[in-house]
A and B are shown apart, each in its own frame.
Chain A
Amino acid sequence: MSDTAVDPDEVRHVADLARVDLDDEELTRFTEQFGDILDAFEALDEVPETDRESELANVMRPDEVRESLSQEEALQNAPESEEGQFKGPKVS
């Protein structure tokens, strides 16, 4: 039995955040597995605080207009498009 209590509601909540619908069987299975997996992750509590690399530098390039995909190419893998635009579900 897992120490890290994970209940089905919590898994359902995370699935909603991740925009993944789950069926009831998956929900039951994931709830059980997540307990075990998160238990294993608890081992990270033993990790000492460590200095991170401080010499990180951003790499920038000049902002120049370059060749890019055409509108047609950019849309070629969209399941639905209309008048040169992606066609998505209703926003509500």
Chain B
Amino acid sequence: MTDYNGYITAETIDGADDGPLAGRTVAVKDNISTEGVQTTAGSAMLEGYVPPYDATVVERLKAAGATIPGKTNMDEFGMGTTTETSAYGAVENPVAEGHVPGGSSGGSAAVVAAGDADMALGSDTGGSIRCPAAFCGVVGIKPTYGLVSRYGLIAYANSLEQIGPIAPSVEEAAQLLEVLAGPDENDATTREAPDADDSYADAADGDVDGLSIGVPTELLDGADEAVVETFWDAMADLEAQGASYHEVDLPSVEHAVEAYYVIAMSEASSNLARFDGVRYGQSGGYEGNWNESFADAREEGFGEEVKRRVLLGTYALSAGYHDKYYKKAQDARAWVKQDFDEALEDADVLASPTMPVPPMKRGESLDDPLTMYLADANTTPVNLANLPAISVPAGETDDGLPVGLQIVGPAFGEREIIRAGSALA
């Protein structure tokens, strides 16, 4: 295992003898099913759960010749921004000791940053690939919704989440995306991307000459000073390489984080209903009636953050509150989509800091869930709009803490964000 607790299960899964990823190791987040190898999603509820089948992305990794060195630690069911809600213990940031690695794919980013795996898979519902990539100083891509199959991913919020790559460089992340992307008959939300024959890795040519970048001012307001400074240094670097930038106005993003949490919690309350200790999950025993027995099993098996979200989601969907919270959140989602579409008419890509703050100290944010939720302000709008985004290292604060730069593209504009990102990393 690792001294920073990056893996929940360290068990090697061999891939095919040759293929584009032959000789490379790709760690897999523990909410992605691996046939015959324990998959817990970071929850005590699923301790000992052994999937009888592989997720589509795992099948594709194996066919491409990758070796999977283990299943990485994560916030329970993907619910967290720090990888401290895992039932298997918190993950330490290997490049910033005493700080969190970000979440929820914290284990995946940590094993890549520490060099214990060449690359890794994460999943991103509201920033869960980009946040840990930014906090650990590596590259993470959240693909366009529908580009990568979610078959075999333990669902948290289906309408928002995507599986994506984490790697030390943009080119390697693009190589991994190449293997993952493409339609899957087991996931009806997948689509063939336009220009599917063009390689993602070839787009990592670092050529940003003439690239037009929009900078949403709303995503800089309220961000930490050291983060903003590092962001502008990276933008100056892009400008020196021939890119230009202008400020854009995205009024809707001011409400995105609230809309994200209402939608994600509502979907979570429904998705997690399956963990009842009968079909799978830890059993609460057979005393009492059906409802009491389920409630006991779920009290015991779920951690506090999961209970908080399931309850708030149930609340937001309940009679009397549905219109106030859930319907309004869907309005906000449509508004965010429109705003992004308009901004991307006048710019090739949009750029912002990935996270408004540098990596938090361990233990700092667990007591105050609202503060943790608000840290996702810059990443969640992208999931609401179903767009692709990449986080690349932008530099470090004066205290040596990694800062990420987020680049957002139009739907299926993975090549644009890969090209732009490759000018920096």
| A70 → B minimal CB distance (Å) | 8
B314 on the interface (CB 8 Å rule)?
yes
CA of A87 to CA of B290 in the docked complex: distance in angstroms? Answer: 11
| B352 → A minimal CB distance (Å) | 20
Given A41-B262, A48-B331, decide whether A18 and B314 contact each other with a Cβ distance below 8 A: yes
Task: Out of B258, B294, B302, B324, name the residue touching A40 (CB < 8 Å).
Answer: B258
CA of A30 to CA of B329 in the docked complex: distance in angstroms? Answer: 22
Chain B, 265-292, CB within 8 A of any chain A CB = 269, 273, 276-283, 286-292
Instruction: Kindly state the interface size class of chain B when it binds its partner.
Output: 35 or more
Residue interface bits A35-74, CB-to-B below 8 A is 1, else 0:
0111011011111111111000001010000000100011
B245 on the interface (CB 8 Å rule)?
no
Of the listed residues A14, A20, A37, A48, the one surrounded by the most CB atoms of chain B closer than 10 A to its CB is A20
| A68 → B minimal CB distance (Å) | 10
From B127-135, B194-202, B206-214, B303-311, give the one contacting chain A. B303-311
Task: Out of B288, B294, B335, name the residue touching A47 (CB < 8 Å).
Answer: B335
A79 and B310 contact, CB distance less than 8 A? no
CB-CB < 8 A to A77: which residues of B?
A: 49-50, 52, 279-280
CA of A45 to CA of B324 in the docked complex: distance in angstroms? Answer: 8
CA of A50 to CA of B294 in the docked complex: distance in angstroms? Answer: 39
B307 and A22 contact, CB distance less than 8 A? yes
A20 and B312 contact, CB distance less than 8 A? no
CB-CB < 8 A to B4: which residues of A?
A: none
Of the listed residues B185, B278, B324, the one surrounded by the most CB atoms of chain A closer than 10 A to its CB is B278
CA of A61 to CA of B214 in the docked complex: distance in angstroms? Answer: 40
A47 and B279 contact, CB distance less than 8 A? no
> CB-nearest residue of chain B relative to A79?
B283
CB-CB < 8 A to B189: which residues of A?
A: 59
A89 and B293 contact, CB distance less than 8 A? yes
| A66 → B minimal CB distance (Å) | 9
CA of A87 to CA of B277 in the docked complex: distance in angstroms? Answer: 10
Residue interface bits B31-64, CB-to-A below 8 A is 1, else 0:
0000000000000000001101100000000000
A15 on the interface (CB 8 Å rule)?
yes
A20 and B311 contact, CB distance less than 8 A? yes
Chain B at the A interface: SS class: helix
CA of A90 to CA of B361 in the docked complex: distance in angstroms? Answer: 47
A44 and B311 contact, CB distance less than 8 A? no
B52 and A76 contact, CB distance less than 8 A? yes
B311 and A43 contact, CB distance less than 8 A? no
> CB-nearest residue of chain B relative to A39?
B370
B369 and A88 contact, CB distance less than 8 A? no
A20 and B299 contact, CB distance less than 8 A? yes
A44 and B373 contact, CB distance less than 8 A? no
> CB-nearest residue of chain B relative to A33?
B369
B49 and A20 contact, CB distance less than 8 A? no
Given A21-B298, A77-B50, decide whether A90 and B290 contact each other with a Cβ distance below 8 A: yes
Task: Out of B276, B289, B324, B337, name the residue touching A91 (CB < 8 Å).
Answer: B289
A9 on the interface (CB 8 Å rule)?
no
B315 and A89 contact, CB distance less than 8 A? no
A86 and B279 contact, CB distance less than 8 A? yes
Task: Out of A11, A16, A69, A89, name the residue touching B290 (CB < 8 Å).
Answer: A89
B interface residues (Cβ-Cβ under 8 A, vs A)? 49-50, 52-53, 185, 188-189, 252, 254-255, 258-259, 261-262, 269, 273, 276-283, 286-296, 298-299, 302, 304, 307-308, 310-312, 314-316, 318, 324-325, 328-332, 334-335, 337-338, 369-370, 373-374
Given A38-B315, A92-B290, 20 extra CB contacts under 8 A: A14-B311, A20-B311, A26-B307, A40-B373, A43-B255, A44-B262, A44-B324, A44-B332, A47-B255, A48-B331, A48-B335, A49-B331, A50-B334, A69-B53, A76-B52, A77-B52, A79-B278, A80-B283, A87-B278, A90-B289
A interface residues (Cβ-Cβ under 8 A, vs B)? 11, 14-23, 26, 30, 33-34, 36-38, 40-41, 43-53, 59, 61, 69, 73-74, 76-80, 86-92
**Cross-chain pairs A/B with CB under 8 angstroms, 20 sampled:** A20-B298, A20-B310, A21-B295, A21-B296, A33-B369, A41-B258, A43-B258, A44-B262, A44-B331, A45-B324, A47-B259, A53-B334, A53-B337, A59-B189, A69-B53, A77-B49, A77-B52, A89-B293, A90-B290, A92-B289
